C-alpha cells in the first residue's frame, strides 16, 4: 500500500504514528526486533538474523467515527522463524506525565502513584509512620504501572485477560483529545499482550499489542511485578501467517469524564458478545441460597448470619464489605418467617457491636472482637483498634435500608430504641470525623474515632447513609454533611478518574468497589434532593464503574472448570488493580442504582449494564444439579459462589478459569439482586423491555394494543417481578425497597401469560 493512501496517514498530523513490527525472544527476554517499512504497496520487515516477513493491512472506517478505524493486519513469515511475536500499535511524541492513561479494569491514571512493595496482605502498620495519618495517600502496592519516580524506566505489560476490555488509551489534556485502541482477546497463538512504554524524558510513548502475548522478562503476581515471565514467542513456519485486528478511536475530549463516557459507548464494538441467555430463575436461586444461609451461615451460639461457612476468623462475622448486616437485608425483604427472625437477630448483634467512638467493631470470631488490620504482630500500633471505614460506611447505609424496609413492609415489627440510638451514634461518628478532618478517611481508631489513614474514597457510601438518616430522623446536619462530603468525593475522585479505598487489603490501589459506592451515593442524593447535578455526577460515576465491568465473553482454557461449564464473563466486575480477578456482581450491592440512573436519564446503556451484571449472576452458583468444582478438586456445596472469575494469571496460569473453594460475598450480591431488582423491566413510553430474570419475554401486538408475553421454560414453578412504568412514573424516585410494590407473576412449568402494559 502506498503511504499516501494509508488510511492512518492523517492521524500523523494529530501526533499518532502507526508502528508495526516483529520481535524475537530468548525465553521472555527481548533479543531482536524489526520495524515494518513500506515500499509502494508492500510492507516488509527483516530481523537481524535474516528472517523476512511480509505485512498487509486492510482498513475500514475512520478513527473519528463511532465504529472507529478498523485495521486487519496480516503478518506472513517468508521463512521459518523461531521465538517470534508480531506487534502492532501507535507511538506519539506529543506526550507528558499529565496524560491520563487507562486500561479498563487494570490501570487508572497510569497507576502513577507512590509504591510500597509489601507482600499480601499489605498492612499499614508495616509502613513507617510518615506514610500514614490523615494526609496519607494515594499509595499503592507493586502493581503494573507507569513510574511515579522521574528517574525510573516507565512501562507496563499486561495480557488481555488483565483488563475488562482488551483496550487501552489516554486523554491528552493539552490538546483536549482522547484516544482508545481495542483488539481481540487473542489469536490462535494465545492471548494477546498489551504494552505502554514511555520514553526516558516522558515526552514520547508507545501503545502496542503483541501476538503471541509476551510480557518481557517479568510479570505480575499478587503484589509484585517481579515474577519471571512464562511467556514465549512462537515458531512460524515458512508461509505461515497470523492476522490481528485493532480499532482506533480518536475523539474530542475535554475531561477525564468524557473519556469514560466514550469508552462506555464503544466497549463492546467488535468483541465476542452475545445477549444474555435464559438462565436459572432468580426465585429458584433464592430458594437455594436461603436454605444454604439458614443451614450453613447461621451462628446459633451468638445469633447472626456469618459471612462464610469455614471456621476461620474472616469467615465468621465482618460488618459490611463482604456481607455482614447486608445479607440480612435481603433475607428480611424476601425470606421466610425463620429468615425474618434471624435477620432481626443479626441486626441486634450488629448494633451491639458499637465501640465507644460510635463506629462498629470490624471482626468477631469465637466470642472475641478483633480489629480489621491484617497484621497480627504483637508490637504493632493500636492492636485490634484499626477499623476499615468502608465497613462502618456500609453498616450505616444498610442500617437505614433495614429501618426503612421495616417501616414500609414490616409495620408490625417494633423497632428497638437501641437500634435507632446506635444508628444515630454511627451517623454522629461520621459527622464528627468530617467536622475534624473534612474527610472520612480509610482507617479509623475504634476507640478514639481518630483518622489513622486518610486519602481514599473508602467512605464513598457514607453520603448515601447520611442522606437517608437525614430523612428518617429529620436531622438537617446529616443532609448538610452528606452534600459536602459528596462534593469533596466528586472533586477528589470522580472528576480525576481514580477511585480507591473500597477493599481493605490493597492499600490504595484503584478499585471498582469505591466507584460503585460513589454511584450509589450520587443516586441517593439525586433522589432525596431532586437536584439534577447529582444525576449528572451519577452518570460520570457509572461510566467509570462500567469500565471495571467485563464487556465480552472471555475464552477460558477448554480444560478449565469455567471452560467446561461454558461460563460467560460478560458483566462480571474486576475487583481492583491489585487483586486482578473479575467477580460475579458488585461488591456488595445489587446495582439497582443503575436502574434508578436509567429512570433519571433515559440512557439505555445503564439498563444494559445492569442486565449484563444481574442476568449472568446465577451461572456462578453451585447447585446440586450443576456443581462447580473448586481448585482443591472438591465440588462446592449448593448455594456456594466463589468470587474468582480468573481471566488473569495473577495467581498463576493454572488458576485461569478455576474457582476459590470458599463461600464468598458474591452470594450476597445475588441475594440483593433478587430482593431489589425487577425480573423484567418495561418502559412503556419508549417501548423498552429488559429481562434480568430467567424467563422468556417478548412483545406481542393485538391490534392497537401491545402486550407482553412471558413464558416459563423451566421444569419448576417460578416467580417473576415485573416493573412496568411510563415517563410520568419515572419522575417519581424509587427510593429504598420499592420491590414490595411490584407485580409478581407465578408461572408453572411451561406456562405463558400475556399482560397488557
Q: What is the pLDDT of residues 371-397, one digit of tens each?
A: 999 988 888 999 999 999 999 999 999
Q: What pLDDT is stored for residue 5 in this prediction?
A: 52
CA-to-CA separations, 12 to 92, 211, 335, in angstroms, rounded: 9, 25, 62
**Mean of all residue pLDDT scores within the chain:** 96
Instruction: Count, in order, helices (H) and strands (E) of the chain.
Output: 15, 37
Place of cell 412483545: 699
Q: Residue 269, class by beta-carbon neighbours within 10 Å (0-12 exposed, 13-18 middle, 19+ buried)?
A: middle
Q: Which one, of 201, 370, 287, 249, lies nearest residue 638 by Cα?
A: 287
Q: What pLDDT is stored for residue 673 in this prediction?
A: 98
- Show Cβ contacts of residue 242 under 8 Å, excluding neighbours closer than 6 positions: 74, 75, 86, 187, 188, 189, 211, 236
Q: What's the CA gap between 32 and 25, in Å, rounded?
A: 7
Can you tell me whether residue 493 is helix, strand or coil? helix
DSSP 242: E
**pTM of the predicted structure, to 2 decimals:** 0.97
Q: Residue 97, class by beta-carbon neighbours within 10 Å (0-12 exposed, 13-18 middle, 19+ buried)?
A: middle
- Show Cβ contacts of residue 482 under 8 Å, excluding neighbours closer than 6 positions: 462, 463, 464, 466, 467, 470, 521, 525
Q: What pLDDT is stored for residue 110 in this prediction?
A: 98
Q: What's the CA gap between 218 and 413, in Å, rounded?
A: 59
Strand partners, 29: 26
Q: What's the CA gap between 268 and 23, in Å, rounded?
A: 29
C-alpha dihedral sign at 84, 90, 91, 96:
negative
Sheet holding 317-318, edge to edge: 317-318, 363-365, 368-370
- pLDDT tens profile 24-80: 999 999 999 999 998 877 899 999 999 999 999 999 999 999 999 999 999 999 999
- Show Cβ contacts of residue 648 under 8 Å, excluding neighbours closer than 6 positions: 159, 161, 162, 580, 581, 656
Q: Is 694:280 a contact under the CB 8 Å cutoff?
A: yes
Q: Delineate the domains of the chain, giving CATH numbers in brackets.
A: 3-112+147-266 (2.70.98), 682-756 (no CATH)
Pick out the chain residues at pLDDT < 50.
1-4
Q: Which one, of 615, 642, 545, lies nearest residue 586 by Cα?
A: 545
Amino acid at each position: 500500500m502506498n503511504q499516501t493512501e494509508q488510511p492512518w496517514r492523517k492521524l500523523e498530523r494529530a501526533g499518532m504514528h502507526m508502528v508495526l513490527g516483529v520481535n524475537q525472544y530468548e525465553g521472555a527476554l527481548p533479543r531482536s526486533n524489526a520495524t515494518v517499512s513500506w515500499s509502494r504497496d508492500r510492507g516488509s520487515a527483516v530481523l537481524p538474523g535474516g528472517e523476512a516477513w511480509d505485512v498487509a493491512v486492510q482498513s475500514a472506517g475512520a478513527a473519528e467515527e463511532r465504529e472507529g478505524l478498523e485495521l486487519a493486519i496480516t503478518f506472513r513469515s517468508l521463512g521459518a522463524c523461531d521465538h517470534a511475536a508480531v506487534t502492532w500499535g501507535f507511538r506519539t511524541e506529543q506526550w507528558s506525565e499529565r496524560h491520563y492513561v487507562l486500561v479498563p479494569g487494570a490501570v487508572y491514571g497510569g497507576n502513577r502513584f507512590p509504591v510500597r512493595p509489601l507482600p499480601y496482605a499489605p498492612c499499614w502498620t508495616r509502613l513507617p509512620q510518615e506514610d500514614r495519618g490523615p494526609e496519607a495517600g494515594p499509595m499503592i502496592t507493586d502493581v503494573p504501572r507507569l513510574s511515579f519516580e522521574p528517574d525510573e524506566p516507565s512501562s507496563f505489560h499486561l495480557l488481555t485477560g488483565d483488563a475488562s476490555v482488551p483496550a487501552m488509551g489516554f486523554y491528552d489534556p493539552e490538546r483536549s483529545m482522547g484516544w482508545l485502541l481495542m483488539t481481540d482477546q487473542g489469536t490462535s497463538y494465545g492471548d494477546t499482550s498489551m504494552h505502554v512504554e514511555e520514553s526516558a524524558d516522558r515526552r514520547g510513548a508507545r501503545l502496542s499489542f503483541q501476538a503471541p502475548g509476551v510480557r518481557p522478562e517479568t510479570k505480575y503476581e499478587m503484589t509484585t511485578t517481579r515474577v519471571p515471565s512464562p511467556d514465549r514467542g512462537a515458531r512460524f513456519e515458512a508461509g505461515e501467517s497470523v492476522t490481528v485486528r485493532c480499532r482506533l478511536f480518536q475523539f474530542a475530549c475535554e475531561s477525564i469524564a468524557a473519556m469514560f463516557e466514550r469508552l462506555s459507548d464503544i466497549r463492546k464494538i467488535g468483541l465476542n458478545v452475545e445477549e444474555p441467555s435464559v438462565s436459572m430463575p432468580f426465585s429458584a436461586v433464592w430458594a437455594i441460597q436461603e436454605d444454604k444461609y439458614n443451614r450453613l451461615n447461621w451462628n446459633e451460639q451468638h445469633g447472626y448470619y456469618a459471612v462464610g461457612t469455614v471456621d476461620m476468623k474472616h469467615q465468621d462475622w465482618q460488618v459490611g464489605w463482604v456481607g455482614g448486616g447486608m445479607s440480612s437485608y435481603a433475607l428480611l425483604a424476601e425470606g421466610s418467617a425463620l429468615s425474618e427472625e434471624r435477620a432481626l437477630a443479626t441486626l441486634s448483634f450488629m448494633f451491639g457491636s458499637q465501640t465507644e467512638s460510635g463506629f462498629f467493631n470490624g471482626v468477631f470470631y469465637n466470642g472475641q472482637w478483633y480489629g480489621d488490620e491484617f497484621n497480627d504482630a504483637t508490637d504493632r500500633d493500636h492492636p485490634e483498634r484499626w477499623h476499615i471505614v468502608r465497613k462502618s460506611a456500609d453498616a450505616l447505609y444498610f442500617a437505614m435500608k433495614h429501618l426503612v424496609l421495616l417501616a414500609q413492609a414490616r409495620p408490625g415489627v417494633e423497632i428497638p430504641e437501641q437500634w435507632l440510638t446506635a444508628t444515630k451514634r454511627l451517623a454522629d461518628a461520621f459527622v464528627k470525623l468530617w467536622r475534624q478532618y473534612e474527610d472520612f478517611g480509610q482507617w479509623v481508631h475504634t476507640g478514639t474515632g481518630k483518622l489513622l489513614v486518610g486519602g481514599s474514597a473508602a467512605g464513598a457510601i457514607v453520603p448515601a447513609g447520611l442522606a437517608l438518616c437525614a430523612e428518617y430522623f429529620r436531622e438537617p446536619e446529616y443532609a448538610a454533611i452528606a452534600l459536602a462530603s459528596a462534593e469533596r468525593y466528586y472533586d477528589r475522585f470522580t472528576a480525576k478518574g481514580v477511585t480507591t479505598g473500597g477493599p481493605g487489603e490493597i492499600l490504595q490501589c484503584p478499585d471498582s468497589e469505591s466507584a460503585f459506592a460513589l454511584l450509589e451515593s450520587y443516586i441517593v442524593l439525586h433522589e432525596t434532593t431532586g437536584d439534577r447535578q447529582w444525576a449528572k455526577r451519577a452518570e460520570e460515576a457509572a461510566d467509570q464503574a462500567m469500565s471495571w465491568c467485563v464487556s465480552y465473553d472471555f475464552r477460558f482454557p477448554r480444560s478449565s472448570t469455567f471452560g467446561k461449564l461454558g461460563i460467560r464473563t460478560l458483566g462480571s466486575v474486576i475487583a481492583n488493580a491489585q487483586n486482578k480477578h473479575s467477580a460475579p456482581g458488585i461488591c456488595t450491592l445489587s446495582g439497582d442504582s443503575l436502574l434508578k440512573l436509567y429512570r433519571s436519564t433515559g440512557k439505555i446503556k445503564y439498563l444494559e449494564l445492569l442486565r449484563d451484571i444481574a442476568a449472568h449472576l446465577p451461572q456462578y452458583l453451585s447447585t446440586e444439579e450443576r456443581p462447580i468444582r473448586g481448585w482443591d478438586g472438591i465440588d462446592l456445596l449448593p448455594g456456594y459462589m466463589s468470587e474468582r472469575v480468573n481471566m488473569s494469571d495473577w495467581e498463576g496460569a493454572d488458576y485461569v478459569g478455576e474457582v476459590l473453594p470458599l463461600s464468598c460475598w458474591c452470594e450476597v450480591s445475588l441475594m440483593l439482586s433478587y430482593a431489589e431488582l425487577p425480573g423484567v423491566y418495561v418502559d412503556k413510553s419508549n417501548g423498552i423491555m429488559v429481562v434480568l430474570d430467567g424467563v422468556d419475554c417478548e412483545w406481542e401486538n393485538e391490534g392497537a394494543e401491545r402486550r407482553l408475553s412471558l413464558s416459563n421454560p423451566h421444569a419448576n414453578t417460578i416467580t417473576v417481578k415485573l416493573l412496568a412504568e411510563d415517563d410520568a412514573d419515572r419522575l417519581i424516585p424509587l427510593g429504598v425497597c420499592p420491590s414490595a410494590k411490584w407485580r409478581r407473576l407465578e408461572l408453572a412449568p411451561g406456562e405463558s401469560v400475556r399482560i397488557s402494559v
